[in-house]
Amino acid sequence: MKSEHPKPVLLADYRAPEYLIDTVNLDIALDPTKTRVVSKLSIRRNPQSKSTAKAPLRLDGELLHLESISLNGKKLRRPAYAIDDTGLTIASPPKEPFTLEVTTVVNPEKNTALQGIYLSRGVYCSQCEAQGFRRITYFLDRPDVLARYTVRLEADVATAPVLLANGNPVARATLPGRKRHYAVWHDPHPKPSYLFAIVGGDLALLDSTFTTKSGRKVDLGIYVEHGKEARAHWAMDSLKRSMRWDETRFGREYDLDVFNIVAVSDFNMGAMENKGLNIFNDRLILASAETATDTTYESIESVVAHEYFHNWTGNRITCRDWFQLCLKEGLTVYRDQEFSAESRSRTVQRITDVRQLRALQFPEDQGPLSHPVRPDTYIEINNFYTATVYEKGAEVVRMIETILGREKFRAGMDLYFERHDGQAVTIEDFVACFADVSDLDFSQFMRWYTQSGTPELVCDLTFDRRKKAAELTVHQTLKPSHGKAKKQPQFVPLAIALLGENGNEMDFTVEEGKEIRPGVLAITDRTTKFRFGNVTSRPVPSLLRNFSAPVNVTIALSDDDLAFTMHHDSDLFNRWQASNKYAARSILTLLDAKRPKPLVASKAAKFAAALEHALRNPDLDDAYKAELLKLPSVADVSREKSVRVDHAAIFEAHRAFSGAVAEKLADTLDDVYARTSNGRKFSPDAKSAGRRALRNAALSLMTMRGMDEDYTRLETHYRKSSNMTDAAHALVLIAGVDAPARESVIQHFFERWKDDHLVIDTWFSAQAQSPRAETLDDVKALCTHPLFKITTPNKVRALIGAFAMGNPLQFNRADGAGYDFLAEKVLAIDALNPQVASRMLGAFRSYRSLEPKRKNRAKAALKRVADATHLSRDCREIVSRMLE
């Protein structure tokens, strides 16, 4: 780890590789401390490379112990080659194709960064994206070098009876002496090194088969810890449904004889799409009614789908360079969102996705870490697996679909698969496919990829009763962000309707301004004007329907207009949107109120009346009603206030308002709670999950009143729960209040689940997220708990991450102790696992919008991180950008 300032990599500097690698033969002998890797590469000059002069061969390599190197069978000696901290150079390789054989040794046991080959609870596994392959052997570790891999894996029979790699199995045998054995795998599909993977361990298998639409039989395997096989059924079911869905919705079939998933306990991210061998954080595979919440079931379904969908969007067609990360990620998130929407309720899925975008991506885009969906510079690529690249990237793909319509969009995707299969391509290549099938000009649209920031649309609607006409003016602004002072207006598809007196959509005509298609306006300039005819009464506008673009819209609407929208809008997303806005706005007005008490009562009464109307509507399903009942969180409300944020004041206003709403809705909430009680057997299906979500949302709101009976109900809810959804929900609520049963419930949960390393994470998080004043002390004490391990990313996220990112009140303590704690922990984690440490620093991303005292304390904590003598490149890049 070096502390100097490493040089940024620039998109503008991209050059095609000077050499290509056609085949890779790896012989990997697994050993906890000395894993030996013999790599045979067939290498040739790239005919496409621009450079003509004799080009040295530079291979990437980090933390490798080099044992030997030979070229075309002849041992190389220095100075024919040279090695340094980041790679190996061969000064003058032959002009003709040649074979390079390199033997290196790595130490899986000491690999706490979890990149390259490492050990997770005794299981050997690998993680290569983005640049982990260079920690296994010397290589052209860049996504535009595609090679065919054959891998021989050898290990002890006793500790690693299961040996897996990418592609199809070719051979396996036990070696003389019967202590060691090997397996050979061959992957016929050329792939970049970041998709390489191996696993060796003593794992249990849940197997099944899938027959593709053209009749190819695929063996499916999910490998998990022994005894956990029964918890893998939901993941298997999700996998099969994903495979079928990709065939019907996108015409994409699977292309190998086997598809394996391995669940490991130590993993930096959620999961990884290695060709034919996905590796997962076990949190996103294992589920049973007793141990997993409905949210976990949903996440498993969507992440299994996400990784599977990468087989076409990412693996068959990959990225030319890491700047194009959104090419695979934004597109694949869009695809998994669509899969979830079709498997569950489309509206609820949209609400969930937009909540997530606003909670994670909007703050990123408004703070010092803002970057375009396709960044043009980075220091450490691992810092760019962000909400902007993933979630905003998905929104950009969704806008293409909105602009083209479902059919044309599919035609563009078909062209993309046909034109680029087997290639490493750019965003320009991707977008060109949609331009080609539609004859539309996407040049202005490309700004979504190159400009950072959330566009603000300030709208104004006027109505002329005499002329039966309305005018909509849309001003678009994009705040400058570092490096880019002036930004160009973006192309925004703005879906709208005008609601008439009876709440129906008016049948208006567009007389001025461009419609992309009925109901979708084209916003193209800094100011875009529209004139609508046949507007027979004062319209209430329904703007940005179904969240048609990742922007912020403001328009003057009264509380009555919002209530009206909540009742009538035929776009259910916008009904929820109106409700959410109504509540957030009410809470914000309390902050500045001179006499908050009477104001709380009147605001809450009006809002509660509107909400009650929706809750009693028999046409709305439970999952949707649950979304309405989840009032905006403290973090949501804080985001509405972009300067001088004081979390303590917002928390108080939030509590007062929610408590008053609960008071007003007492009878309705009682009814909802009683009606949704479930004696039935647990089923993870969307309808049952919706019922539980509604019941738990009602419980949350009722608890906000803070009366004795509410705490009694809460305790009963916990004690009577027959599934983890209800138990965990009650645990989190009870850990957050001073209920008499608090300690005994926390203790009970611990005793019940202390042997389950996944469930116990819920126990850590529940305490870390508590708004009580004692929380920081509790979190500090829990850091020394025997079940907490700083080298396990899931534990770090469950305790330190939940505190820093999921507890706005206590993390943002006025005395700055929350910031100091995080800074200290980040430094400790950084020495072990830079990728995880640097993600934790993300909790500071909005510090500049805090009120001055908090802002200064957060800044001081960041400076302390910046001043540390040993800081990884990952953390160095993030703190520098924050303090810029």
Residue ranges in contact with ligand 0A1 by CB under 6 A:
127, 129, 268-273, 306-307, 329, 385
- Is the Cβ of residue 332 or residue 696 nearer to Zn ion in the bound state? 332
Q: Is 48 exposed, middle or buried (0-12, 13-18, 19+ CB in 10 A)?
A: exposed
- The whole-angstrom separation of Cα 24 and Cα 39 is 7
Cβ nearer to ligand 0A1, comparing 126 with 725: 126
How far apart are alpha carbons 293 and 299 in whole angstroms?
10
- Burial grade of 171 (CB within 10 A; 0-12, 13-18, 19 or more): exposed
Residue 611: CB minimum distance to ligand 0A1, A: 37
Would the CA dihedral through 876, 879, 883, 884 be positive or negative? positive
Residue 335 interacts with, from Zn ion, ligand 0A1, none (CB under 5-8 Å by kind): none
What is the nearest approach in angstroms of Zn ion to the Cβ of residue 310? 6
Known active-site residue 307: yes
Residue 329 or 395 with smaller CB distance to ligand 0A1? 329
Point out the catalytic residue in the list 129, 225, 307, 471. Answer: 307
Q: What is the spatial distance between Cα 690 and Cα 695, in angstroms, rounded to a whole number?
A: 9
**Contacted entry of ligand 0A1, Zn ion, none for residue 830, CB cut-off 5 to 8 Å set by kind:** none
From residue 697, alpha-carbon distances to 575, 670, 694, 739 in Å are 18, 12, 5, 19
Long-range contacts of 589-597 (CB under 8 A, 24+ apart): 590/653, 590/656, 590/657, 591/641, 591/649, 591/650, 591/653, 596/653, 596/656
What is the dihedral angle through the alpha carbons of 381, 845, 331, 525, rounded to the nearest 10 degrees? -120
- Minimum CB–partner distance for residue 190 and ligand 0A1 (Å): 19
Cα separation, 840 vs 828, whole angstroms:
12
CB 1 within 8 A of CB 835: no
What does 639 bind: ligand 0A1, Zn ion, none (CB cut-off 5 to 8 Å by kind)? none
463 is in the binding site of which of Zn ion, ligand 0A1, none (Cβ under 5 to 8 A by kind)? Answer: none
- Residue 187 binding: pick among Zn ion, ligand 0A1, none (C-beta 5-8 Å cut-off by kind): none
Tokens of residue 330, six digits: 């934004």
**In Å, how far from its chain's centre is CA 125?**
22
CB of 385 to Zn ion, least distance (A): 9
* CB 303, min distance to Zn ion, A: 9
Please check whether residue 605 is in contact with residue 616, taking contact to mean a CB–CB distance below 8 angstroms: no
Taking residues 228 to 267 in sequence order and writing x for each that binds Zn ion by CB under 5 A, - otherwise, the string is: ----------------------------------------
Return the one option of Zn ion, ligand 0A1, none that residue 152 interacts with (CB less than 5 to 8 A, by type).
none
Q: Which residue, 116 or 493, has its beta carbon nearer to ligand 0A1?
A: 116
Distance CA 76, CA 278 (A): 37
Closest distance of CB 159 from ligand 0A1, Å? 24
Let me know: does 286 contact 231? Beta carbons within 8 Å.
yes
Stretch that binds Zn ion, among 331-339, 440-448, 658-666, 723-731 (CB under 5 A): 331-339
Residue 120, phi then psi, degrees to nearest 5: -125, 110
Both tokens of residue 826?
């980040």
* Shortest CB 194 distance to ligand 0A1, Å: 8
Q: What is the CA radius of gyration of the chain?
A: 28
- CB 428 to ligand 0A1: min, Å: 22
Cβ neighbours of residue 837 closer than 8 Å, sequence gap 6 or more = 826, 827, 829, 830, 872, 874, 875
Residue 333 Cβ vs ligand 0A1, minimum distance, rounded to whole Å: 8
CB of 127 vs ligand 0A1, minimal distance in Å: 5
- Do the Cβ atoms of 388 and 364 come closer than 8 Å? yes
Q: Residues 332, 316: contact at Cβ < 8 Å?
A: no
Nearest partner of 536 among 464, 445, 482, 454, judged by Cα: 464
Residue 846 binds what, of Zn ion, ligand 0A1, none (CB under 5 to 8 Å, by partner type)? none
* Residue placing its CB nearer to Zn ion in the complex, 169 or 270: 270
Q: Report the nearest approach of ligand 0A1 to the CB of residue 119 (Å).
A: 15
Question: What is the distance between the alpha carbons of residues 172 and 149, in angstroms, rounded to a whole number?
Answer: 17
DSSP state of 816: S
- For the chain, the residue count is 884
Min dist. Cβ of residue 284 to Zn ion (A): 12
Spatial CA neighbour of 611 closest among 591, 589, 632: 632
Residue 389 or 578 with smaller CB distance to ligand 0A1: 389
Phi/psi region, residue 449 (left: phi>0; alpha: psi -120 to 50; beta: rest), is: alpha
Pick the closer one to ligand 0A1 by CB: 127 or 340: 127
Binding to Zn ion (CB under 5 A): which residues in 264-293?
Answer: none
If the CB atoms of residues 268 and 725 are measured against ligand 0A1, the closer one turns out to be 268
The nearer residue to ligand 0A1, 28 or 272, going by C-beta atoms, is: 272
* Binding-site partner at residue 129 among Zn ion, ligand 0A1, none, CB < 5 to 8 Å by type: ligand 0A1
Which residues are within 8 A (CB) of 754 and not within 5 positions of it... i.e. 6 or more apart? 760, 787
CB of 307 or CB of 715, closer to ligand 0A1: 307
Interaction residues for Zn ion, span 598-627 (CB under 5 A): none
State both tokens at 771: 């708004």
**385 binding partner (options ligand 0A1, Zn ion, none; Cβ < 5 to 8 Å by kind):** ligand 0A1
Q: Kindly tell me the burial class for residue 743, based on how many C-beta atoms sit within 10 Å of its own C-beta (0-12, 13-18, 19 or more).
A: exposed
Measured between alpha carbons, how far is residue 618 from residues 567, 615, 622 in Å?
Answer: 13, 8, 9
Residue 278 Cβ, how far from ligand 0A1 at the closest point, in Å? Answer: 9
Q: Are 710 and 738 in contact (CB under 8 A)?
A: no
Per-residue mark of binding to Zn ion, 301-330 (x: CB under 5 A): ----------------------------x-
**Contacted entry of Zn ion, ligand 0A1, none for residue 155, CB cut-off 5 to 8 Å set by kind:** none
- How far apart are the C-alpha atoms of 269 and 271, rounded to whole Å? 6
Based on CB atoms, which residue is closest to ligand 0A1, 335 or 487?
335
Element housing 598 (H / E): helix 596-615
**Distance in angstroms (rounded) separating the CA atoms of residues 186 and 168:** 5
- What does 294 interact with, of ligand 0A1, Zn ion, none (CB < 5 to 8 A by kind)? none
Q: Please identify, using beta-carbon distances, which residue of 281 and 658 lies nearer to ligand 0A1.
A: 281
Give 108 or 539: the residue with its C-beta nearer to ligand 0A1. 108
Contacts to Zn ion by CB under 5 A? 329, 332
Residues annotated as part of the active site:
307
